[in-house]
Structure 1
Amino acid sequence: MDPKKKAITAAVVGTALGVGGLAVVAMPATAGAAPALPAVSAESLVQSVLTAKPGAFDGTVSVSNNLGLPSLGSAIPGAGALNVDSAHVFSDGAGKSKLALAQGSSQETIIHDGTTVWDYNSKNNTATKTTIPAGVAAKPGAGVDAGKMSDPAGAATELLAKVRESSTVSVDGTATVADRPAYELVLTPKPAERTLLREIRVAVDSQTRMPLRVSVLSNGTTTPALELAFSDIEFTPQAASEFAFTPPQGAKVTEKTAEVGEQAKAEAQQVRHDLKVVGDGWDTVVTGKLPAGSLTPKQTSGSAEGRGVDPQKLLSRVAKPVNGTWGSGYLVTTKVGTAVLTDDGRFAAGAVPAQVLYEALGTK
């Protein structure tokens, strides 16, 4: 996945800081009384969400980003995707997906039909066609699963699976989301959890059990950090044409095959070897080490002026210098999480106070 897709995933799903990367607040309340629905236990509702198979659908996702991330300008490719205005998600219920991301007057469209991924950007009229070989496509997690990773259903299901055991779970009435009656499922961290988050709220469709809205509130503020919710949705079969793409007239098309080179494989294996999860639930911290050379200044691809990106200088702009028994480095703080990158390339991130990160860096 290229930097653009990583930025989109971070923006829409909030996985950049693991469980804590997502902080969402409910959309404005729908006028009228809350819908009357049969009583359901919290555990039963959680189980039904984790096993739900809603089938084909298409819906518009509203995204409001107030994470408090520092302004990166154009220094990092794809950083602008963190300001995505909305997304339209299509799914055939069997693996094919389409995602249309709106950002101002431009739109990016990502279509995954199981064997091919198209990525089209209307702003510069460019398209990338990635062919996924059969051996790669058969592997779990291969390709760009845009549908799953860019809607409230995928985000909520992942969060529920990770934090349910360390949460107090309850059903807090009902609501109407995207003109559909839904249960309000609430997960609150248990007292022993050291986290910046206060609660996760998931509006669950009463019929399909598909999450229609996911909301995570941070401590010390009532201001939305990120809003992710369906504003409208239709559970209907999708035409095959939705998952087919023909580049517009004059579009510049780049074709490639989803293959991983030996060097990339070696780097990925090293990253996995160094990656460690400290703690669990709400105060999970992910630690690891960047590949060698990651902090070395690099030339910006396609830059007419030959300008490059210096990670160290960028860090000095958006983060504050910190040090301790674990070493020295830079700390990035948002409303919903923190991340530290040491001068020797180690990192730690989570929805936790900085002190928890420092402790995790010192864990053997």
Structure 2
Amino acid sequence: MKWMPAVAVPAVIVAGVLAVPLQAGAAVDLPDKSPQDVLELAAGSTVDTFSGTIEQSSELGLPEIPSTGDAATAEFADALDLLTGSRTVRVYQNGADQSRVQVQDTMSERNLIRNGSDVWLYDSADNTAVHTTLPADAAPTDGAEKDGASYTPSELAQTFLDEVTPSTDVSLAENTQVAGRTAYELVLTPDSSDTLVGSVSIAVDSETGLPLRVQVAAQDATDPAISVAFTALTLEAPPGDLFAFTPPAGATVSEETLPTKDGVGHSEADPSGVTVIGTGWDAVVALPAGEDAAALAELTASPLYTQVTDAVDGGRALSTTLVSVLITDDGRVFAGSVPVERLLAAATQE
């Protein structure tokens, strides 16, 4: 279901647990800064070499989903796990073209490794490895979108910081400490009654500007529904051998070709028909009928589909505290950090 991460990006499908709190009564004394100062501090961060541990979890109001059953049911459950589960992620970064992300599952581990133009995705659960060779003009983040769980606080924060507009109130909360580092707490509050997002809190490292923690709260909620945070962080170059990967004996290895900027290698699964309706916090992402039709058919065939979605006029809808998804009877998909009613209205405009 390659379309699932793309659908959920506006509503941040990745999540994390709260960072280690300060001792009771402890205060963090930092030089005074304005919200604009902290925005500029984060925008000017140049940290691209570090090792760290990230804790992720989310509570979006979805029921527990069994991972057993047929292939479609298991895949559906795995996708929803990104919206409900918790996990530990270890990250290693050495400049723009060397990185490793290790996602710790209950009984297995997934690794996403980039070493120059080589990108490997390895899943120990089924001993499978996928290899991709990046084109010469690849951006630093190319090849790093294999798994929604691979987001770091910095990557997640950037999705919100890029959207700061006059429709966003920007303020500062009390200074804090995350992973043993002092930070300014930047708070983004949407000036919109149509979004499900109540606020986004970003802990910005006071020295480097690196986002250390992101917490997303729903409207009228005090506890975050989503948070992703460093619990340990070292700003030193990781050992070089971490970025060398050879598939284990017996592994099933496959090659994947990325589409180039001129369209060569484009596949039917690429979301070329994606459109955005509206702007800002209440924008809606729309996928036309026929976009990745095979994956959509597999999704709707799962028995879990009717368990976690509700029948609405013209389709079925998944509703959580931070994101809604509408799948219409004619195969279109609409998603956003908005109520289902907003998606239904958007569907009538398309």
In the alignment, structure 1 residue 197 sits paired with structure 2 residue 197: yes
Correspondence 1:194-343 to 2 at 5 A: 194-248=194-248, 250-260=249-259, 265=266, 267=268, 271-273=271-273, 275-291=274-290, 294=293, 310-311=300-301, 313-323=303-313, 328-343=314-329
SS class of match (1:34): coil
Which whole-Å deviations, capped at 9, do the CAs of 1:246-279 have from their partners, x for residues lacking one? 233x34141414245999736367x434x22122
Distance between the aligned counterparts of 1:293 and 1:20, measured in 2?
21
Structure 1 residues 176 and 146, CA gap change in structure 2 (3 angstroms): farther
Structure 1 residues 163 and 345, CA gap change in structure 2 (3 angstroms): farther
Which deviates more from structure 2 when the two are superposed, residues 138-147 or residues 67-76? Answer: 138-147
The alpha carbon displacement at 1:208 in A equals 0.6
SS class of match (2:266): helix
Identical amino acids, percent of aligned pairs: 31
Which whole-Å deviations, capped at 9, do the CAs of 1:81-109 have from their partners, x for residues lacking one? 52351100111122221000001131111
Distance between the aligned counterparts of 1:297 and 1:115, measured in 2?
31
Q: Which residue of 1 aligns with 2:32?
A: 39
Structure 1 residues 313 and 216, CA gap change in structure 2 (3 angstroms): same
SS class of match (2:349): coil
1:129/1:254 contact within 8 Å kept = yes
Distance between the aligned counterparts of 1:111 and 1:260, measured in 2?
19
Structure 1 residues 125 and 257, CA gap change in structure 2 (3 angstroms): closer
Q: Which residue of 1 aligns with 2:60?
A: 67
State TM-score, norm by structure 2: 0.84
Aligned residues: 337
Structure 1 residues 186 and 179, CA gap change in structure 2 (3 angstroms): same
Q: Which residue of 2 aligns with 1:166?
A: 167
SS class of match (1:237): coil
Distance between the aligned counterparts of 2:264 and 2:147, measured in 1?
30
Distance between the aligned counterparts of 1:23 and 1:64, measured in 2?
5
Distance between the aligned counterparts of 1:180 and 1:293, measured in 2?
44
State TM-score, norm by structure 1: 0.81
Q: Which residue of 2 aligns with 1:97?
A: 99
Structure 1 residues 334 and 47, CA gap change in structure 2 (3 angstroms): same
SS class of match (1:130): strand
Distance between the aligned counterparts of 1:251 and 1:168, measured in 2?
54
The alpha carbon displacement at 1:22 in A equals 6.1
The alpha carbon displacement at 1:228 in A equals 0.7
RMSD, matched Cα: 3.1
Amino acid at match of 2:106: G
1:183/1:206 contact within 8 Å kept = yes
Which deviates more from structure 2 when the two are superposed, residues 353-362 or residues 97-106? Answer: 353-362
Which whole-Å deviations, capped at 9, do the CAs of 1:46-97 have from their partners, x for residues lacking one? 1221231113001100012222335263515343752351100111122221
Distance between the aligned counterparts of 2:242 and 2:120, measured in 1?
12
In the alignment, structure 1 residue 87 sits paired with structure 2 residue 78: no
Amino acid at match of 1:37: L
SS class of match (2:36): helix
Q: Which residue of 2 aligns with 1:303?
A: none
Q: Which residue of 2 aligns with 1:360?
A: 346
SS class of match (1:173): coil
Structure 1 residues 293 and 311, CA gap change in structure 2 (3 angstroms): farther
The alpha carbon displacement at 1:27 in A equals 3.4
1:188/1:199 contact within 8 Å kept = yes
Q: Which residue of 2 aligns with 1:150?
A: 151
Q: Which residue of 2 aligns with 1:120?
A: 122
Which whole-Å deviations, capped at 9, do the CAs of 1:117-146 have from their partners, x for residues lacking one? 112222233323223344xx5368642357
In the alignment, structure 1 residue 18 sits paired with structure 2 residue 10: yes
